[in-house]
Amino acid sequence: MPRATLTEELKLIESIVAAHPSGIGITAIEAEMAQGQGGKPNRRTLQRRLQKLIGEQRLTTEGESIALVYKLISGSVVPASGSMTLTATATAEAELYVPVSPEGAVIRDQVRLALMHRRPVGYQRDFLQAYQPGETFYLPEPLRLQLHEMGRTSANERPAGTYARDILGRLLVDLSWASSKLEGNTYSRLDTLNLIELGQIAKGKDAIETQMILNHKAAIEMLIEDADEVGFDAFTFKNLHAVLSQDLMRDPQASGRLRRRPVDISGTVFHPLALPQVVEDCFMQLLDKAAAIPDPFEQAFFLMVQLPYLQPFEDVNKRVSRIGANIPLFKHNLCPLSFIDVPEHAYIEGTLGVYELNQIELLRDVFIWAYERSCQRYLAIAQTMVEPHPLKIKYREALIQAVQTVVKGLRQPSPAVIAEVAQDHATEADQAAFREMLTAALQQLHEGSIARYRLRRSAYIAWQHAQDHA
């Protein structure tokens, strides 16, 4: 694993101290960091990090000399973890959390123990192999029936992806924002809305955060546009990873490819598989089992459990699992899972329960709460939505092709061009209406909306340049 950044080190130190309300000495901090990072930190460097946290009023000290201990300042909140760092601390008690089952509570308490008190474990292949589709269920039947009742929509008899398209504008913002937030992204929902709908980059934000949001948007659109074709297969998930990880991987060649080298995850005692051939074998087995699961909710949750546990890619695994979990929901026109308002610590601790204990109950509690929250949001929204015009439904694919014809052909959106293109994509009776739809689509086209027309950014920029020099 690459060397941790200063921010990551500070987060790790703070999380270790937070797990010891009565205080912890520097030697014990060293020991826990050694477990989390795979090597003992330099004492002088650690002292500087601790002084920085004290100066930022995130930590305080108590005692003197060899009795000196570090404590979290009351009211301080441990920062959210990054994509390759998982921390579970006692500060979660003070945060919003999901309703937890008795089994989930036991897991939560176990993963909150200091690292030095948690037994190091490796990937347990039996955890995957023991799962038998149609016989094994992470979600009991009464719970699955409850989820189906919650997630049922008016589009259940319509083509795959219809409901997701009906709420596409809101879903793109919600899911892109919420999933990115679980990775430590600081974009607000309003920032995300302005980026996706208007192409406006939020001031003061890191370029990586902006890219993460845009990658989510592109990935969601890809799955919805191709709802009939995507599935639990290697092609779908490698491409999903490629889209979600675009321009975010240390090694660009790793985007869309199964990892060929070991990875470590900070803040946990779990060590993923190292051998590439075994990773690939388990990846294919995982997808085959997922594809054979008869229930869409069981499919979704199975993926959220098993894919991050396997860590088939060098990074971005949890993002792939969250977006991929929506595939069966899109295909069955069920309410999507947006992860809106999901408490970060609850999600992290549920994931740690899978990593370290092979126990799914806490993550299941998070999944159920998150899905109920999504249903409440989107079914309420659907009640206020205006029914789309029948011609927009009828000519949806034709409109995409017509926009592509104009943009890729570097043609001016003049009335004559629009009339010419419309003749090739609509019946004579619908010509006037189609010309209006095409005109509006071209007028409203911007970098934040080109993906819905399956356009590359380079093609759009070339078209804009051609218009500017016409």
Per-residue three-class SS string for 17-34: HHCCCCCECHHHHHHHHH
Other C-beta atoms closer than 10 Å to the C-beta of 321 total 24
User: Which pLDDT score is estimated for 229?
Assistant: 87
The residues, any chain, with a CB within 8 Å of residue 102's CB and separated by 6 or more, are: none
Residue 306 one-letter amino acid: Q
User: Which pLDDT score is estimated for 334?
Assistant: 93
Q: Where are the domains of the chain?
A: 6-79, 121-384, 390-468
Q: How far is Cα 384 from Cα 399, in angstroms, rounded to an integer?
A: 26
User: Which pLDDT score is estimated for 41?
Assistant: 79
Strands 69-72 and 59-62: antiparallel
Other C-beta atoms closer than 10 Å to the C-beta of 189 total 14
262-280, pLDDT tens digit by residue? Answer: 998 988 999 999 999 999 9
Q: How far is Cα 169 from Cα 224, in angstroms, rounded to an integer?
A: 12
User: Which pLDDT score is estimated for 55?
Assistant: 79
> Considering only CA atoms, which of 381, 295, 298 is closest in space to residue 338?
381
Contact call for residues 110 and 357 (beta carbons, < 8 A): yes
Residue that the structure tokens 């579970």 belong to? 88
Report the chain's C-alpha Rg in angstroms: 24
**In CATH, what number does 6-79 get?**
1.10.10.10
Residue that the structure tokens 């709908």 belong to? 197
Q: How far is Cα 252 from Cα 246, in angstroms, rounded to an integer?
A: 8
Query: Can you name the CATH fold of 121-384?
Result: Fic-like fold (1.10.3290)
- 60 three-state secondary structure: strand
20-55, pLDDT tens digit by residue? Answer: 777 888 888 888 887 666 567 788 888 888 888 887
303, two tokens: 């993926």
Per-residue pLDDT tens digits of the chain, which is 470 residues long: 445 677 778 888 888 888 777 788 888 888 888 766 656 778 888 888 888 888 788 888 887 666 788 888 754 444 333 334 454 443 444 457 899 999 999 999 999 999 999 999 999 999 999 999 999 999 999 999 999 999 988 766 677 777 877 788 889 999 999 999 999 999 999 999 999 988 899 999 989 999 999 999 999 999 988 888 899 999 999 999 999 999 999 899 999 999 999 998 988 999 999 999 999 999 999 999 999 999 999 999 999 999 999 999 999 999 999 999 999 999 999 999 999 999 999 999 999 999 999 999 999 999 999 999 999 888 766 555 445 567 777 888 899 999 999 999 999 999 999 999 999 999 988 899 999 999 988 988 887 778 778 888 889 899 988 888 87
240, two tokens: 């999903």
Distance (Å) of CA 159 to CA 326, 333, 392? 16, 8, 15
Indicate the pTM of the whole model: 0.67
Distance (Å) of CA 396 to CA 45, 303, 399, 434, 460? 59, 31, 5, 10, 20
